[in-house]
Structure 1
């Protein structure tokens, strides 16, 4: 007989006892008890039970319990399994705490093993019990008790609680009509406005579902406000289907238009490795990582040609980590996703310590890891640029896949620490500034030193300065069309310094364009005429020196920091050590946040360069395979997965004759799929094909729109609603740019605008970061902004409060 505090094997003690043991290890309140090994039952079945010996062992075990009443409960091998619960088929009995009573009730449990109801259940289900252990526990005399279905049988997006006053047998036996509470849930977030025992109960049930990895049927009792977990078993009956939450928030910054089958195959597998490798890096327990396999494999999906995050999978992954609530809060802020707060969870202290230790270790190594990633990409660019033969191109192809799938963890650390440190700084700001924290938070991280994202604007300014110094060149630049100008001057780098600078820009920065990760989009390197047109647009506005703008925002950030420090010392100056601690913590938090964001932007720059180089490799491979009559068109590779391309290059396809037909079929279906409309956020039922859905655009008549402040300030100007960067020519100096999302390609228009409003994006989206560098008031995460704000409309953008107001002309 073994105490429930021990780790118990289901094959020796049954699932019920093993589950109770597991609950105790998770830190839940479980009534004290012990379990009688299945060997005693086998001896009873075979008529060889030594009753005196058994009672002696029982007497010794009972000494550890201290209750007026006990519960003697069956724990059969095979009961409460993932496939079958055998609920109600095996018996449990109240018992006095003496040896004789417990012995008699144990015999009753053993005898229920052979009851007619159990045999009937076995015959119907096709599953058979394989022995029985018995659990003996102290009985709680509850104020109320009941059962929780973490996924309601009626609706998968609800958590259902049924309860009665007193003991739960009345509910189980159907003697009374129970009270019930239903809580709407989204993934692992439950909208619970109750306090006290019910709030605790909901939190416990959600974290247990995560720990067990499946929806649960949880029996509970509440005494004096304390929740006791009596049993937790998998829900084995099929409900309405698991609801999946899809969102294109943030992901559309990298993939702003319809993605090809090739790009989707790379993205899908790379996200699998991205999250799995991060989980390993931060030493999430291996058993928990294994349970997340389905979530890792389903981080993204494609609807109407657009990429979407599977938020349900992402939340599952986050919830497996210590400090899940804090991390998910930072993630939501990071990507601009508005959501309710995550329920708290209990995590063993050793797991928290291990996680924190890993965070400290990898934070210390961040600079080195990002530098290694940059060097790896630079090496790839050099080698792949030299690739000519199909064998050389194959090597370049496979090296890209290896980097993207298995070496990306170095870049993913930059994402993680940008998110983490930005969130931690926000917490500190909230402590001292409350509701005003957003504005202060953003101003503290303005003007990050040497941020790579601002270099294109600085270089463009330098190109124009140099062009203006040459009278003849500048005159032709202003008067000629871009194609005419480039035909004449494009090959004259040695004669004109400005042309040399343009070529240098195109080589080193030309890949930084809107849709820079898309294999179907041209960039400035592909189309230099677009860059010449952009330069002409800049020249017309006679822009100010962006370096001076950045220096001004740096001064502002310095002043904000000084005011923050003064606020700390005003509040805690009387307690010198506390004030000194928060002063140091502020400086450390700002430094870490800036370093995290800077590292992430460096990684994203190299990501864009890597993808552009791979796009060139793909084009070369397509040409080679077309020559061999394996493709009808060199661009047809975009309609195969990267694994299918590997098989095509190696002549190892399972149906080689079918490749041309397969590509033709996909091209037809692709066009049809891309025409289907899907909103930014929607829900599907797992296992069912998602039908197209129209965007639910707000037609609210209110003259006030709310979003998240990304960079403080107030401006009143004309709104310029722009669908893509290709419409940048519509912008006039001082306009407020309104768009669905921004990506690194949009940086070149920032000197033209006085304010920024973005439908999709978070505090660390590219637009938010760059707007802070130039001190441009900006609001992100504004639902339906491009529908509610009309092009040319006069608006007031108040980025200090995150509000947009319509102004009557």
Structure 2
């Protein structure tokens, strides 16, 4: 410790600190101190501790300002920037700066107490000042770093991660500048795939600011842990950031930048090997993958910063064919990260659990079991399981044969268990949740989930017959060489989903025929438009029919049947109206799927082996009819399976409201951050012990922050699920789901909020679909989906509408550019860019 730090504890050498000193020097300085202590090449420097900032904040009246909800971040920044730095602190900073050398250029960086942590990197949220020269300039940069704690972006970032704004502090790191010829960042794991045995290096000429701030397309290197080069992608060298002689930096572009990069790798093998060695040492020291800033000057490598990698995808191991099939279904059913409440209700007891129970009934273990891995209550990874038949599977063959012979799929809705199920759903919907006692309310979700057992038991009994009926068509039609007819043969089936689509089409006809109604529905706020229609007597009939639709079909999910956290259609009339408006621009297609089915059957029966035998034709007609009944069974039992979800969701939201009223939750919706067993264990929200209440709130804060960190991170590596096929010049490839070729404009539709973006005759490119998306297929020329398989919702609907479809591309929504013209080949399962 230097003499300066001994006399003023607010300005202390960097090496005096380590990981235990987070509260004093913030995350960045604590990590750099650790590296210095470990003997790693970190430029020398000192820290202006959080105590110095706390004194400045007190003088500025920051606490009073924070107590006023009307105060803006700009007001907070201005208050800090207006504070005079005391003379004794100025002297201490000047002395420490002199200790680095006479007039030495330094980098002045913020180091907040909520920065460079495992759950929140805060990368770029506070300011950095490079090539600062002179004591007065250093003091001024320190003050500006303090103020940058209150930039709009930093305040928003902390809010998203539930960081207490009043508790956060900031230290400032001052280090000798490295006048680097080459600099950049490196990751000790692949930030895209999550692979832990890779080192990924991005490099640019000059100072690392060009790479860190995204000003330049850097050289990109993939190395193994020993530093061997696996792949190199050259950068473009658009900008070089260089230090100015008198302080500050300049940006050079054009010829200077190109000369600096010259099209050759910026890093030779020796430099890459040195970086890989340092990367391994730093990752081992901290015990987890690291995000590291580095610089090379005069052949020497320097480490400028190291922080834990955040938002690192889970590492997906290789998947076999069965696991890929399961994963393709799960990525469709879990298009977004489930909340803890989702995982412990509809994921553990919903459709996936039903499939697991059906598998166990027939002696198959591991089918769709334990499909989500959690960390501290937050879902981090999809885990496709490995089904394992047992001796019970052989013993159940007799049961299967008996069910196939005696239970016809067309009769399932007449089963008394379906009647009992609908009666239970009606009883649940009749409950006035707001009047129930806490004990009665807590019992409702369990009862709603138990109602799904009726659907499970029906599927156990009737699915074998459905599967057999499909095999009896698919197998002989394939043998006859007419496999391409199968989608149309099984299309146009009358289902509850088709009835919903027909109802939407009738609403669209009504809007199409009434210009005043169409004008009334113009605008982005369709929920507000519907509210306005309710008080306009001219549109009472239309509003009544919308309400009828919501009453009949509003139980359906808007995102996934596995997510109770997402609203239902009944809660989202704006989505329904958006679908209606999307259909208004399209002419009706009534009967098209049915007519295609009839035509496909005629073509099949015209086959010579069938045409010569009326008996065989009659048998094939019966088989096709049974197969169509099987398709209806699959679709309709899925429709009813979610019938109890609105009551389940309503009860959970009512629970959240009561917990909020008791002061346990900031908002009622925070209840979704809790696991069901955690809520069920609350005996009385108004009498909960303070320690238990604090524990509950802390759990929600941690999970909120973790979910924010993982916001853009996939729960499974889709490249493992949907391995790219040899597509030549294809932008993406996937599973062929409906044949045909279309060239048109591609439109990325990310969610139900984007429905209006799809124009007539455009190609729908989306991450997933569910029944709420069906009317979009009337407008689309083709469909390309990131997830799903040939049996998924999108594939079935595409075949009904006869539009080319490619499923399971894995990356269609990111690889295809919104608005570009592409060619979708649904026969080979590939998408290519159209020739210009």
Match status 1:627 vs 2:706:
no
Distance 2:453 2:755 in 1: 35
Q: What SS is found at the alignment partner of 1:408?
A: helix
1:311 to 361, 384, 388: 384
Match status 1:770 vs 2:814:
no
Displacement after TM superposition at 1:753 (Å): 0.9
Q: Measured at CA, do residues 270 and 736 of structure 1 come closer, stay the same or move farther in structure 2, by a change above 3 Å?
A: closer
| 8 A contact 2:319–2:721 mirrored in 1 | no
Cross-structure match for 2:502 = 458
| 8 A contact 1:393–1:621 mirrored in 2 | yes
Displacement after TM superposition at 1:447 (Å): 0.6
Cross-structure match for 2:477 = 429
Cross-structure match for 2:456 = 408
Displacement after TM superposition at 1:665 (Å): 2.2
| 8 A contact 1:516–1:745 mirrored in 2 | no
Distance 2:352 2:515 in 1: 55
| 8 A contact 2:742–2:823 mirrored in 1 | yes
Match status 1:647 vs 2:726:
no
Q: How many residues in Structure 1 have an aligned counterpart in Structure 2?
A: 510
Match status 1:250 vs 2:284:
no
Q: Name structure 2 gaps, 5 residues minimum.
A: 1-316
| 8 A contact 2:341–2:675 mirrored in 1 | yes
| 8 A contact 2:319–2:720 mirrored in 1 | no
| 8 A contact 2:582–2:779 mirrored in 1 | no
Q: What SS is found at the alignment partner of 2:435?
A: coil
Displacement after TM superposition at 1:718 (Å): 1.5
Please show how residues 410-809 of structure 1 align to structure 2 within 5 Å: 410-411=458-459, 421-433=469-481, 437=483, 439-448=484-493, 450-470=494-514, 472-478=516-522, 482=526, 485-492=529-536, 496-517=540-561, 518-539=563-584, 541=585, 543-547=586-590, 551-567=591-607, 569=609, 573=612, 580=615, 583=617, 586-629=620-663, 631=665, 633-649=667-683, 657-658=691-692, 660-673=694-707, 675-676=709-710, 702-703=729-730, 706-809=733-836
Q: What SS is found at the alignment partner of 1:764?
A: coil
Distance 2:463 2:709 in 1: 33
Cross-structure match for 1:188 = none
Distance 1:553 1:739 in 2: 23
Displacement after TM superposition at 1:769 (Å): 2.0
Displacement after TM superposition at 1:737 (Å): 0.7
Q: What SS is found at the alignment partner of 1:522?
A: coil
Displacement after TM superposition at 1:672 (Å): 1.9
Please show how residues 140-219 of structure 1 align to structure 2 within 5 Å: none
- Select the structure with the greater relative contact order (CA < 8 A; seq sep ≥ 6): 1
Deviations 1:362-397 (A, max 9, x none): 446633347337514632443335662225433422
| 8 A contact 2:469–2:623 mirrored in 1 | yes
Deviations 1:139-163 (A, max 9, x none): xxxxxxxxxxxxxxxxxxxxxxxxx
Distance 1:698 1:296 in 2: 26
Distance 1:495 1:721 in 2: 33
Distance 2:688 2:560 in 1: 33
| 8 A contact 1:619–1:635 mirrored in 2 | yes
Deviations 1:238-269 (A, max 9, x none): xxx99995764222333321111111012225
Deviations 1:560-604 (A, max 9, x none): 212222326259x4xx6xx845x4553344223322221222222
Distance 1:473 1:242 in 2: 54
Q: Measured at CA, do residues 696 and 360 of structure 1 come closer, stay the same or move farther in structure 2, by a change above 3 Å?
A: closer
TM-score (norm 2): 0.53
TM-score (norm 1): 0.55
Q: Measured at CA, do residues 445 and 356 of structure 1 come closer, stay the same or move farther in structure 2, by a change above 3 Å?
A: same
Q: What SS is found at the alignment partner of 2:769?
A: coil
| 8 A contact 2:752–2:773 mirrored in 1 | yes
Cross-structure match for 2:183 = none
Q: What SS is found at the alignment partner of 2:502?
A: helix
Distance 2:835 2:670 in 1: 52
Q: What SS is found at the alignment partner of 1:311?
A: coil
Cross-structure match for 2:57 = none
| 8 A contact 2:769–2:794 mirrored in 1 | yes
| 8 A contact 1:718–1:795 mirrored in 2 | yes
| 8 A contact 1:639–1:666 mirrored in 2 | yes
Q: What SS is found at the alignment partner of 1:648?
A: coil
Distance 1:426 1:305 in 2: 42
Q: What SS is found at the alignment partner of 2:782?
A: strand
| 8 A contact 2:748–2:765 mirrored in 1 | yes
Distance 2:540 2:707 in 1: 49
After TM superposition, the structure 1 stretch with the greater mean CA deviation from structure 2, 410-419 or 593-602, is 410-419
RMSD of Structure 2 on Structure 1 (CA): 4.2
Distance 1:738 1:698 in 2: 19
| 8 A contact 1:249–1:680 mirrored in 2 | no
Deviations 1:458-510 (A, max 9, x none): 22232233345555444434489646643432245796311211222233334
Q: Measured at CA, do residues 498 and 642 of structure 1 come closer, stay the same or move farther in structure 2, by a change above 3 Å?
A: same
Cross-structure match for 2:296 = none
1:263 to 342, 346, 350: 342
Cross-structure match for 1:193 = none
Cross-structure match for 1:74 = none
Q: Measured at CA, do residues 643 and 650 of structure 1 come closer, stay the same or move farther in structure 2, by a change above 3 Å?
A: farther
Q: What SS is found at the alignment partner of 1:515?
A: coil
Q: What SS is found at the alignment partner of 1:312?
A: coil
| 8 A contact 1:454–1:747 mirrored in 2 | no
| 8 A contact 2:737–2:790 mirrored in 1 | yes
Distance 1:705 1:296 in 2: 28
Q: What SS is found at the alignment partner of 1:496?
A: helix
Distance 1:660 1:299 in 2: 31
Displacement after TM superposition at 1:277 (Å): 4.0
Deviations 1:657-699 (A, max 9, x none): 435414532442354256447657559xxxxxxxx99999899
Q: Measured at CA, do residues 630 and 253 of structure 1 come closer, stay the same or move farther in structure 2, by a change above 3 Å?
A: same
| 8 A contact 2:533–2:539 mirrored in 1 | no
Q: What SS is found at the alignment partner of 1:737?
A: strand
| 8 A contact 1:720–1:736 mirrored in 2 | yes
Displacement after TM superposition at 1:400 (Å): 0.9
| 8 A contact 2:787–2:809 mirrored in 1 | yes
| 8 A contact 2:370–2:385 mirrored in 1 | no
Q: Measured at CA, do residues 796 and 470 of structure 1 come closer, stay the same or move farther in structure 2, by a change above 3 Å?
A: closer
Displacement after TM superposition at 1:296 (Å): 7.3
Distance 1:653 1:316 in 2: 48
| 8 A contact 2:372–2:382 mirrored in 1 | yes
